[in-house]
Amino acid sequence: MRLSKYYMPTLKEEPADADIASHKLMLRAGMMRALSSGVYSYFPLGYRVIRKVENIVREEMDKSGALEVLMPAMQNAEIWQESGRWEDFGPLMIKFEDRKKRQYCLGPTHEEVVADMIRDEIRSYKDLPYNLYQIQTKVRDEIRPRFGLLRAREFIMKDAYTLDTDYEGLDEQYQVMYDTYSNIFERCGLEARVVRADSGAMGGSSSHEFMVLADTGEDELAFCTSCDYAANVERAEAFIELDESGETIEADLEEVHTPGAKTIEDLVDMLELPASKMVKSMAYIADGEPVVALIRGDDQLNEIKLKNYLGAVELRPAHPEEFEDIFGSVAGFIGPVNLANDVKVIADRKIKELSNVVTGANKKDYHYVNVDIERDMNEIQDYLPLRKVIAGDKCPECHGELEIKSGIEVGHIFKLGTKYSESMNATYLDDNGREQPIVMGSYGIGITRTVAAAIEQNHDEKGIVWPVPIAPYQVIILPLGNSDDVNKAAENLYNDLNEAGIETMLDDRDERAGVKFNDAELIGIPLRVTIGSRSLKEDKFELQIRRSGEESMLDKDKAVDQIDELLSKIT
Amino acid sequence: MRLSKYYMPTLKEEPADADIASHKLMLRAGMMRALSSGVYSYFPLGYRVIRKVENIVREEMDKSGALEVLMPAMQNAEIWQESGRWEDFGPLMIKFEDRKKRQYCLGPTHEEVVADMIRDEIRSYKDLPYNLYQIQTKVRDEIRPRFGLLRAREFIMKDAYTLDTDYEGLDEQYQVMYDTYSNIFERCGLEARVVRADSGAMGGSSSHEFMVLADTGEDELAFCTSCDYAANVERAEAFIELDESGETIEADLEEVHTPGAKTIEDLVDMLELPASKMVKSMAYIADGEPVVALIRGDDQLNEIKLKNYLGAVELRPAHPEEFEDIFGSVAGFIGPVNLANDVKVIADRKIKELSNVVTGANKKDYHYVNVDIERDMNEIQDYLPLRKVIAGDKCPECHGELEIKSGIEVGHIFKLGTKYSESMNATYLDDNGREQPIVMGSYGIGITRTVAAAIEQNHDEKGIVWPVPIAPYQVIILPLGNSDDVNKAAENLYNDLNEAGIETMLDDRDERAGVKFNDAELIGIPLRVTIGSRSLKEDKFELQIRRSGEESMLDKDKAVDQIDELLSKIT
């Protein structure tokens, strides 16, 4: 591709409305522009990278035996009403009416369509298994679109759906997808990790996330430094050895005046006690019911775990006025002793070993000290692992040390089971002629998200550093000065490289050397060949590897072979 | 691909809700299913053909120098309001609100997005020209979705947009697209023709349609049998030699009683005169104004020409009550003599040579005879070519004979000019530093429509007959009987063909020979290889060419080469 004819409007300045590296760099490199909030036009350079990722995904999916289909973006309300998700999806789902006033949505996912599409076609256990996938533009109306392609409203996704007669079949296909996804991200040249995940609104029994590691990642991941254990912090657990033998110093429950001390930090200062001797009581409304979660003063609550334990659809912190009306308490001074009777109390497991702790007294500006769990508290419904794991915690499997890294979710696989096939009556006849629900799995990769994650993981202060497999072009040639010899040598090398199947850009623009160098670094092409009069006299070209900055000389007559060899070595 | 693992639910029965061949056959061949009216899921076989067409389109577009982009499906109302098309598109455009109550549409086309996308980036004449294209799913809410992929609501389209400094540049790029489109349909193996077309709602000065010829085509096309002239009947003209010297037999205008004679046919019977001696008067409302069009009794009016002449946005036949209220007449008996004064009257050119004709008398059950155009009629605003051309008319360019064929529009190219760049302020600075509007062109190919048109042109009573270049697979192997030798030979041939890069299906299903033969014919794979015990004993396979039905024998050891050679010869 000749840059003089390429539509690649690069920007020298940092765009004001972009917060993170991938967003800034995709705008600066002329890869895309926003049409509206979270909705982007992909320009030639950007779309080329997207298609590279798509092709790797397609090849690996095909290799796994999955079959490519394309399902509608525009989906009628009826199938979503059947599954019960027409309301559940909330405002994330774009809804509209057609000219006959029938209701539709822009499908944010396709479980319902798959179930509908196959239920009239699949009759017998002999017709199964299948894995159907598509690569498609999807729309989800995010409440706060941001971070460019990491949280966009319109985006490209690969989604796949497996159909099996039983859970053994699902397990097998799930494992094939697990391996396929691992191959895909490896082939893209990305450092990715698989973690156990929460299956959230999708339902189902088991779920893994594929994460590209990057400091800017939205997700926190816990990895064991000794074994394979890896999980999203949302669901990670730590091994906790409880010391329940702790001698309790007999002391009476005492109310102390703690004016204005609404936080653990305030109390630590005021009472001169460590946070580990305090119990935080956190008030929530779970699907309309009041709940208090107890956690040690120096721990953080993991809301996802609480929500999952309660099986709640909606969990939110209580509003200030609800403390009085519902909990019989006061915001900032809530505690488990003498709470309103109908409030459910759940405690983190670590609470069990505590004695003589501080809690709120349910009265403005007062706390209790010398609280004894068993003696003083309301009935505790359950002790659960509710705290968020932190770096240094012990691995739940091998008791090794956990570390926490940031990652960007690029893939997610789910064992759905029969949630959709039962509600939508997608069944088959087993070998006894009995009707059985089809067992489903669902598997997603964010294609445009993967491109952004690749940049988050691979960039420096000068711009993008593409991994070779997804680089839009592998080589960029910069002819410097405007001599005929230089231009001719550049032209020849450009033709020779393209002929050898090496995707090459030629910066034939009438621009200063500085502009060409800056743009080449910004757009992150793995190898840069500079052709100038001086070295050309000695039949040499200058080569620089974008990632390492390493420089070397190429021989004019062997340049294609030398570049070809180098490309097979670098990442 | 092994059919035992392929998702291809074929149907023996004709689907009840499909009217035309491509729709029926795509359903029967398991290529797709409807999710709702005019909205389809493409199954593996169908999507594979779609991608073949996409790839040919992409290769030829890239070769032409066009750059691939991807623009949003979800488009904010503001850009459509700027161009003035937010209302113009009417109910064909799906509109919706996001969670913040901002208005959007599902873009039925992308002129506005292109103009918006480039107006901040293109500064100087040096930045031009460009041709940006995309392959994308689009939604248009058709009033009556029908004919499967020929009139669907959700469909795949390739749309391209050229950007030039002037009309010479546009002419050049338009010609490149004209040639590229011709190549594309030729490479797809389709018999297609280019015709001059009406540019309709898109605006602009010039437009051509690319038509796949097929008896079931929705469009009528006029072709000259002697020269290159070809045009959609909507805009085709014929050479008419007027005989204005015709001697008028002096006779007085006479009112005759014609009870119930509301049509030309009624009058022919009642008055025993030929239709060519009658003038049909057709009452329309054009943007609220009454208009009468006069046409010879044996001709048909071409409404599109009338609408274009009037420059009307909406043209509709008058309602019965309007005949009295607005035209001063009666439905069925309207005529140009003594009409209400403010009614515009337009006549086809052929009216000019007529004398002593019959017209309506604007009075129930009465007509005039012996009408003399000049003497009796209201003022005629203009004489124009308003009649529809028919087979046997003379070519307007060479006076040769015109023939009429049916075709399906698969591509359409438009010279837009500055309609969008002016309204949306997409400008560049010329070499004198003056701001000028960018000159645009717009070019579309219906990808899914092309697949349907290919079937309309290529099928027989047994099923589809794919042209080789877009066939989902080139060869299908049918092992018959269930002997190990047959299965092994089939397996080996399958592997050898795939290795040789020949896309092959193996019908390894446990089905009767009849089912296998029927399905192979239904899905239209160009070459069928049958492997049975008898011929295998002589190291032979049976081969049949789907299109011609021609049969021959292949040598087991040379089969791959023989097939390869044949594929390069057949269409």
In A, which residues are within 8 Å of B130 by CB distance?
A: 7
Contact between A7 and B35 using a beta-carbon 8 Å cutoff: no
pLDDT at A232 over 90: no
Name the region of B523 (left: φ>0; alpha: ψ -120 to 50; beta: rest): alpha
For the ranges A244-253, A293-302, A342-351, B59-68, the maximum mean pLDDT occurs at: B59-68
Distance from CA of A417 to the nearest CA of B (A): 21
pLDDT band at A130 (very low <50, low <70, confident <90, very high): very high
Within 10 Å of residue A171's Cβ, how many Cβ atoms? 15
Cross-chain Cβ contact A74/B48 below 8 Å: no
Angle between helices A559-569 and A484-499 (to 10 degrees): 50
> How open is the CA angle B336-B342-B343, to the nearest 5 degrees?
40
Q: Give per-residue pLDDT as tens, A517-530.
A: 999 999 999 999 99
Query: Measured between CB atoms, does A44 come within 8 Å of chain B?
Result: yes
Gap from A511 CA to chain B (nearest CA, Å): 13
Kindly list the residues from chain A whose CB atom is less than 8 angstroms away from the CB atom of residue B95: 96
Neighbouring C-beta atoms of residue B496, cutoff 10 Å: 14
When pLDDT is averaged across residues A359-385 and rounded to a whole number, the result is 86
* Beta-carbon contacts below 8 Å between A and B: 138
Of A281 and A228, more confident: A281
Give the span between the Cα atoms of A199 and A183, in whole angstroms: 22
Average pLDDT over residues A125-139: 97
Give the DSSP letter of residue A105: E
B chain contacts of residue A50, beta-carbon cutoff 8 Å: 70
Among A236, A162, A160, which residue's Cα sits nearest to residue A195?
Answer: A236
| Residue contact A67–B7, C-beta within 8 A | yes
d(CA A286, CA A308) in angstroms, rounded, equals 11
**Does A143 contact B at CB distance below 8 Å?**
yes
Pairwise CB contact (< 8 Å): B141 & A96? no
- Which chain B residue's Cα is nearest to A104? B36
Nearest residue in A to B33, CA atom: A117
> Which chain A residues are Cβ-neighbours of B139 within 8 angstroms?
73-74
Looking at the complex, does the CB of residue B121 fall below 8 Å from at least one CB of chain A?
yes
| More confident position, A72 or B120 | A72
What are the C-alpha distances in Å from B202 to residues A7, B155, B207, B230, B444?
25, 19, 10, 21, 12
- Is B29 at the interface with chain A, CB within 8 A? no
Burial class (CB in 10 A: 0-12, 13-18, 19+), A353: middle
Task: Identify the segments of chain B with pLDDT beneath 50.
Answer: none
Q: Which of residues 5-24 of B touch A (CB under 8 A)?
A: 5-7, 9
Q: State whether B143 and A99 contact (CB < 8 Å).
A: yes
Which residues on chain B are in Cβ contact (under 8 Å) with A68?
44, 47-48, 51
User: What tokens appear for A551 in the block?
Assistant: 């420089």
Question: How many residues in chain B?
Answer: 571
- Cα–Cα distance for residue pair B148/A369, rounded to 1 Å: 76
DSSP reduced 3-state for A269:
helix
Would the CB atoms of A76 and B153 count as touching at under 8 Å?
Answer: no
Of B50, B73, B102, the CB nearest to A154: B73
- pLDDT for A211: 94
Residue type (1 letter), B496: D
Closest-CA residue of chain A to B114: A41
Put residue A223 in one of left, alpha, beta given phi > 0 → left and psi -120 to 50 → alpha. Answer: beta
CA distances for A212 relative to A140, A190, A202, A215, A237, angstroms = 22, 7, 22, 10, 21
| pLDDT at B205 (0 to 100) | 66
CA nearest neighbour of B130 among B75, B64, B82, B70? B64
Round the average pLDDT of chain A to a whole number and report it.
93
Whole-number Å distance between alpha carbons of A336 and A378: 6
Provide the angle, in degrees to the nearest 10, between the axes of the packed helices B484-499 and B559-569: 50
What is the per-residue pLDDT for A378?
A: 64
CA distance B73 to chain A (A): 8
Contact B73, A154 (CB under 8 A): yes
**Cβ A406 vs Cβ A221: under 8 Å:** yes
Chain B hits for A153, CB-CB cut-off 8 Å, are: 74, 98
Length of chain A: 571
Name the strands in the sheet holding A344-348, side by side, starting at the edge strand that comes first in the sequence.
A315-317, A279-286, A289-296, A344-348, A382-384
- Residues A80-99 have pLDDT tens digits of 999 999 998 889 999 999 99
A249 touches B at CB < 8 Å: no
Q: Do B48 and A65 touch (CB under 8 A)?
A: no
Q: What domains does chain A contain, in order, with CATH numbers?
A: 16-72+107-236+404-456 (3.30.930.10), 254-384 (3.90.960.10), 473-569 (3.40.50.800)
d(CA A237, CA A395): 8
Question: For residue B41, what is the nearest residue in chain A, using CA coordinates?
Answer: A71
Partners of A39 on chain B (C-beta within 8 Å) are: 72, 74, 76
**Integer Cα distance of B274 and B264 in angstroms:** 9
Distances (CA, A) of A327 to A262, A300, A335, A345, A377: 17, 22, 10, 11, 15
Chain A residues with CB-CB distance to B154 below 8 A: 72-74
CB neighbour list of residue A521: distance below 8 Å, 6 or more residues apart: A462, A463, A546
pLDDT at site B340: 83
Set of chain B residues whose Cβ sits within 8 Å of the Cβ of A139: 73-74
What single-letter amino acid sits at B483? S
Residue B42's closest chain A neighbor by CA?
Answer: A70
Look at residue A553 and give its three-state secondary structure: strand
Interchain proximity A68–B47, CB inside 8 Å: yes
Taking alpha carbons only, the member of B301, B280, B283 closest to residue B292 is: B283
Instruction: Considering only the beta carbons, identify the residue of B5, B44, B74 that sits closest to A68.
Output: B44
Stretch A422-432: mean pLDDT: 96
B185 three-state secondary structure: helix
* Cα separation, A487 vs B74, whole angstroms: 44
Question: Among B40, B74, B91, whose Cβ lies nearest the Cβ of A154?
Answer: B74
More confident residue, A467 or A314: A467
Chain B CB contacts of A33 below 8 Å: 117, 120-121
B141 touches chain A (CB under 8 A): yes
pLDDT digits (tens, 9 = 90+) for A172-207: 999 999 999 999 999 999 999 999 876 555 555 689
Answer yes or no: do A70 and B42 touch at CB < 8 A: yes
Question: What is the CA angle B53-B59-B61, rounded to 5?
Answer: 100
H/E stretch holding A281: strand A279-286
On whether any CB of chain A is under 8 Å from the CB of B227, the answer is no
Question: What's the pLDDT score for residue B501?
Answer: 97
Subunit contact A71:B43, Cβ cutoff 8 A: no
Chain A environment of B63 (Cβ under 8 Å): none
Q: Residue B556 has which token pair?
A: 């087991």
Query: Which of B98, B142, B149 is the best mutation test for A, with the most CBs of A within 10 A?
Result: B98
Residues in A touching B7 (Cβ below 8 Å): 67, 69, 121, 130, 132
Look at A153 and B71 and tell me if their CB atoms are within 8 Å: no
How many CA within 13 A on the CB side of residue B551? Answer: 5
Give the count of alpha carbons within 13 A of A89, CB side only. Answer: 24
Q: Which amino acid is at B69?
A: V
Rounded distance, CA B58 to CA B490, Å? 35
pLDDT (0 to 100) of residue A340: 83
Q: How far is CA A556 from CA A297, A484, A542, B173, B194, in A?
A: 69, 16, 10, 37, 49
| Cβ-Cβ contacts under 8 Å, B42 against chain A | 69-71
Q: What is the pLDDT of residue A19?
A: 85
User: Does residue A244 have a pLDDT over 70?
Assistant: no
pLDDT number for residue B246: 61
pLDDT in tens, A2-59: 999 999 999 998 898 888 999 999 999 999 999 999 999 999 999 999 999 999 999 9
Report the residue from A72, A106, A121 with minimal CB separation from B9.
A121
> Which residues are CB-contacts of A502 (< 8 A; sequence separation ≥ 6)?
A474, A475, A560, A563, A564, A567
Residue A468 pLDDT: 97
Cα distances (angstroms) measured from residue A343 to each of A306, A360, A408, B121, B371: 15, 15, 37, 60, 97
Which residues of B, range 480-509, sit inside 8 Å of A by Cβ? none
